[in-house]
Structure 1
């Protein structure tokens, strides 16, 4: 991984910044503080060496301090990032996607107005205090995918990430990685916590979310990620997010 940088604005223990995520792959970097990053009307993808997390509108991704990561978006996006020192409040120890409720959404928007420069006493500090009270209430959303560590399993994972609609069965993918299907299945189960079939379905869901965030139609996206039956894709989406794609992105 190249272009590793430290990228973080100056500020106190807790603050919210309005930032810009340009279309394309982000730069690999670490932050000294934990960050909660999301976009109100775009889909963000966070990658680390360990996995991938996708945050559609109404969601955000926690990234712990010191974790090498990059944030990507299909289109230019206005991003809100909460930076928080771990000593200021408990934060997740692992990356995760959480749902952002309307109250927290409004508070983050308000906190963007004054950013990192606010007095320790006064209305701005009280807004930040309420944000901290809200953080433990943000519900986790299962929009994560663990990445295998074994290079042979990574080869298979990268093939499918490049083209999630590939029709190859595990036997063919394993042969391309110079291992048996049985070994590949064991590696995925051990290193990702999912069977290969479960992992592949989750990858397709996350790739579909990113494409839907670009404005593509549900039918187009379902076909692009490997579903011949659009209703099956809608069922998987509804199970993960509680709504159909059309209603969720309305």
Structure 2
């Protein structure tokens, strides 16, 4: 389904309001063609993973994070992995001067997430002073929340992208590299070499990072850790915990507690729980 959340004309308008918000829930996979607009955009999903291409980079974004797209930056939504339930806010170009000037992944704070959710209840009502103050808070929060390096580059080779999208839709798929090469019609040697060249990770590392992004989403949703481990293709929970901690510096259980208590997981000390 190729549907824009707002019209191109509105997305390129620098008139009031400062922020335009939109959300969409659809049982269909959503894609948008490559485009750009003069408003800056922060995009995310309320559940599931989405693949977005921004200029020459392709990233997978979990529900715990958002991607910032500066004004006039070429981008497209390659697809949602499963039904689409996403949101975007569009910020006046004139208000983007203090925001990141390059696309980046942002760790969504509870404050930012709740403020964005509030704007989506306003519909077309006339903006009051309190509405405008909350919009200013959103812009300030985007300017200070941490940028994180957990983006997962997507390969560009159509055969490798086919594999990457299949794994994004089903991270627990445990086919080995030989099986994937046969399925995609590419030699193992070419798959290995191209995957590393195009993503910066070898195939095994890339699949593990994808599973970790999905784990973040499931933990925030409150799913039991044992269930998450099995759903992501890990045979034992201890292996999953070890890999999660190696990637994020915290155990899955303590990450989940941090999210439940609205605390920053980066500073969450395992020893004080």
Partner residue, 1:26? 30
User: Which one of the candidate residues 15, 22, 25 is aligned to 2:19?
Assistant: 15
Change (3 A) 1:99 1:13: same
TM-score, normalization: structure 1? 0.74
TM-score, normalization: structure 2? 0.69
Matched, 1:229 2:252: no
- Flag the structure with more relative contact order, 1 or 2, with Cα contacts below 8 A and sequence separation at least 6: 1
Partner residue, 2:60? 52
Instruction: For 1:208 and 1:102, locate their aligned partners in 2 and report how far apart those are by CA, in whole Å.
Output: 19
* Contact kept in structure 2, 1:7 and 1:31, CA below 8 Å: no
Cα RMSD of the aligned pairs, angstroms, is: 3.6
Change (3 A) 1:74 1:148: closer
Change (3 A) 1:76 1:249: farther
- Judge which range, 216-225 or 87-96, deviates more: 87-96
1:80-229 paired onto structure 2 within 5 Å:
81-90=88-97, 91-92=99-100, 96-109=104-117, 111-112=119-120, 114=122, 117-118=126-127, 122-210=129-217, 216-229=223-236
- Aligned-residue offset at 1:94: 5.8
Instruction: For 1:210 and 1:139, locate their aligned partners in 2 and report how far apart those are by CA, in whole Å.
Output: 18
Alignment: residue pair count? 241
Instruction: For 2:118 and 2:170, locate their aligned partners in 1 and report how far apart those are by CA, in whole Å.
Output: 40
Deviations 1:199-228 (A, max 9, x none): 110122233445556665332332222211
> Secondary structure of the equivalent of 1:35?
strand
Unaligned runs of 5+ in 2: 261-273
Deviations 1:126-158 (A, max 9, x none): 332333222221112344321111123223324
Deviations 1:9-51 (A, max 9, x none): 6473621536342455235365633322346xx4342223523
User: Which one of the candidate residues 67, 90, 108 is aligned to 1:61?
Assistant: 67
Deviations 1:29-82 (A, max 9, x none): 65633322346xx434222352321122xx4333455522167487886x6642
Instruction: For 1:242 and 1:35, locate their aligned partners in 2 and report how far apart those are by CA, in whole Å.
Output: 30
Unaligned runs of 5+ in 1: none
Partner residue, 1:247? 257
* Contact kept in structure 2, 1:28 and 1:70, CA below 8 Å: yes
Instruction: For 1:37 and 1:180, locate their aligned partners in 2 and report how far apart those are by CA, in whole Å.
Output: 36
> Secondary structure of the equivalent of 1:37?
strand
Change (3 A) 1:16 1:61: same
Change (3 A) 1:44 1:156: closer
> Secondary structure of the equivalent of 1:68?
strand
Deviations 1:158-215 (A, max 9, x none): 4433443333332332233343323212111111121222111012223344555666
* Contact kept in structure 1, 2:225 and 2:252, CA below 8 Å: no
